[in-house]
Amino acid sequence: MNRDRRRKRLSSSRITILAEGAFGVETAKTASSAVRYQPERVASVIDSRFAGSTVGETLGFGGDTPIVSTFAEAMALEPRPEVLLVGIAPQGGQLPDAWRAVLVAALEAGLDIISGLHFFLSDDPGLSALAERHGCTLFDLRKPPPDLPVGAGRVMGTDAFCVLTVGTDCNTGKMTVSLELQRALAARGVRAAFAATGQTGILIAGTGIAVDAVVSDFISGAAERLTLEAIGGLAEDAGSGDRGGDDGGGGDDGGAGIVLVEGQGSLMHPGYSGVTLGLLQGTLPQAMILTWMPSRPRIYGGNHSWVVLPDLDEVIRRYEDALAWACPEVPGRVIGVSLATYDISEDRARAAVEHAREVTGLPATDPIRFGPEPLVDAILHAREAHRESAAPAC
């Protein structure tokens, strides 16, 4: 079975999520995102700290999906899961030693395993042999295809309007706002494609390339390929008459559609800025959405907390300057700010949204808490302005 067919099969099967000792919005992004965007697939979550409670009680969303202590308890529930999802993606991406026994038990029970770790399960001789013996699939979401090109500006000259999400830091909601924008645009009858660039986005979309696992020379080429594939998918939708939604006014106007590219890392982050720059140069977006977590004044993670984040207007300037290196005629510009405010009160969240508007002069919202509409409007206005300007594609 080829990679794309396996992805489609594994993206629809019932799953139990292994998140032992780590289940949470920040600590288990893959797990919490699966709960948010594919709740119908999640049969249970394994984390003994919260056993006996529900996902909704622990995360604040996700309903009554049970949390259990062990893999055996997960298998005793009905309906029985078909897939074990490794629900974390920690720094370094290695498999916790204590989890290997759970993976072995899952394979012996006939479950496929999906993992977003940098450690590829399919390259592990013991796990691979066990998977083959039991007819199971080990699917490494982060494993890149072998034939990636060097980026060469191939997106120039295409008609689609490309929007890249960029961040003040890593883990600030770049994937989340991309998915929320795709959903909201579809509701207005606008064709929009989501290009997944990380393990969790690939899990949800069923396709994509985890660019942080790509050799550095080919990051921009991977981003370029993803963008072109998304544009091709939009063209196929247009040919089939699929508008993706109904805005009550006849749907989209027949344009080439919008590509929402999931960002990764941050130009401000000493550890992850390389992948961010590769995405900028590979996608050459006409617009960017900046993501910001207002409770975080320093770079995320203890290893980088010595880096104080610049003000929002300075972050925007740096992103626009970086993109202008590759496309000086029409530098992509930041057109809105998306906030992640789940860890602060509603009053503080509203104040943070207002602060972002005042500092940047741009539309701002928390797309989960307050809805994505200001950013949807910003994208549609920017697309129309780009068309009217007859500017070069980049």
Read off the pLDDT of residues 276-335 as tens digits, 9 standing for 90 and up. 999 999 999 999 999 999 999 999 877 888 889 999 999 999 999 999 887 776 657 999
Q: Is the pTM of this model over 0.75?
A: yes
What the block records as the tokens of 58 is 């622990």
Which residues make Cβ contacts (< 8 Å) with residue 296, sequence separation at least 6? 168, 169, 172, 309
The fraction of the chain above a pLDDT of 90, given in percent, is 69
Per-residue pLDDT, 255: 53
In the chain, residues under CATH classification 3.40.50.720 are 3-140
Q: What is the pLDDT of residues 117-133, one digit of tens each?
A: 888 999 999 999 999 99
pLDDT digits (tens, 9 = 90+) for 132-171: 999 999 999 999 998 898 988 888 878 889 999 999 999 9
Please give the CATH architecture assigned to the domain spanning 161-389.
3-Layer(aba) Sandwich (3.40)
- For the chain, give every residue range classified as CATH 3.40.50.300: 161-389
Top-level class of domain 3-140: alpha beta
